[in-house]
Amino acid sequence: MSKQKKVVYREFGDPEPEFVEEAIDLPPQQQNLKIEASRKGRKGKTVTVISGFQTDAETLAKLTKQLKNQCGSGGTLKDQTIEIQGDHKQKILQFLTSLGYKAKISGG
């Protein structure tokens, strides 16, 4: 005798609806970015992490590519944060401020 999962009672026909979050797309002057170098969970490799973006994924993808070219290094985009391989805090700060972003270096 096999057990089967059955829905005994359902008030409405459809399961819970999916909610789509709209990304807030602020201009660069209104965004406060945080730049920090991190080695946690990366087997001792240093990565520069830029967080605090409030823009859509397409803009972030373009900015990630520009930052990778500016630093001459690899990098990725993860959950509204950009990670650039190596310690490039000063280069990234200068580049972002030239684009009009309000950015500051966090940590030591």
Give the predicted TM-score (pTM) of the model: 0.75
Report the CATH number that the domain containing residue 78 is assigned in CATH.
3.30.780.10
Domain that holds residue 57: 28-105
Please report, for residues 15, 60, 64, 107, the alpha-carbon distance to residue 50 in angstroms, rounded to integers and kept in the order given.
38, 11, 10, 12
- Residue 12 covered by a domain: no
Domain count, the chain: 1
- Residue 84 covered by a domain: yes
Task: Name the amino acid, one letter, at 68.
Answer: K
Per-position pLDDT tens, the chain of length 108: 555 666 566 566 655 555 555 557 788 888 899 999 999 888 889 999 999 999 888 999 999 999 999 999 999 999 899 999 999 999 999 999 999 999 999 986
